[in-house]
A and B are shown apart, each in its own frame.
Chain A
């Protein structure tokens, strides 16, 4: 595997379910990100991890819980979601999230539908 991978690619879940999204990067990067992408809206940054420490949490509801066990893996744990949480969830990684202009590399995303 190369680049950034995400599983599952598609997920349908009820509002009472608990599920997890997984992201893995094979690029040797030390920063990882979760984004939410809704139709015709800008990418919304949810969480940032740098060197496995969470450095950004943009007021995301507690029903979304991230986990970064090491620099290559990132999880997003989901519970009691709402229909408006249906969206494409993108994972990205970069060399660092500080002042250097390193671009972010994105995974293919998980298309989440909450019923």
Chain B
């Protein structure tokens, strides 16, 4: 079966750096997405990786290793507003998105 694994919850301190990991086993691979979802709100797109390596976008970076079935989202200079759930999703060989359950990130002052 297809599976996306992410930690259920993480806690970090304002101003620090946090890395949220995602591992996947899917039938084929056509890209990996990270979304942010604040409580009670819609998920919003953060990043997309299809080739190995690091994609940087301001305070957020996303890394992909296709051979390891692994990605991480790196958040720097954490702010209170970064408290949210972070969803990892992989597009499989049928171009269907397979979603992880999300990682709830709690930022403490």
Q: Which residues of A contact B (CB under 8 A)?
A: 4, 40-45, 56, 90, 97-99, 101, 103-109
Contact = CB atoms under 8 A, between A and B. Distances in A.
Interface in B81-101: 87, 89, 91, 95-101
Main secondary structure of the interface of B (DSSP, over half): loop
Given A45-B97, A101-B50, A104-B97, A4 B45 contact: no
Given A40-B8, A97-B95, A105 B45 contact: yes
Given A4-B42, A42-B102, 10 more contacts: A41-B101, A42-B99, A43-B97, A43-B99, A45-B96, A45-B97, A101-B30, A103-B48, A105-B45, A109-B42
A40 B9 CA distance: 10
12 contacts: A40-B101, A40-B102, A41-B101, A42-B99, A99-B30, A101-B30, A101-B91, A103-B45, A103-B48, A104-B45, A105-B45, A106-B43
Contacts, number: 45
Interface of B: 4, 8, 30-31, 33, 40-45, 48, 50, 87, 89, 91, 95-102
Given A98-B95, A101-B50, A42 B45 contact: no
A105 B45 CA distance: 7
Given A101-B31, A103-B33, A104-B45, A42 B101 contact: yes
Given A43-B87, A101-B31, A103-B33, A108 B99 contact: no
B99 to A, nearest CB: 4
A109 to B, nearest CB: 6
Given A43-B87, A99-B95, A106 B101 contact: no
Contact of A108 (B31, B41, B87): B41
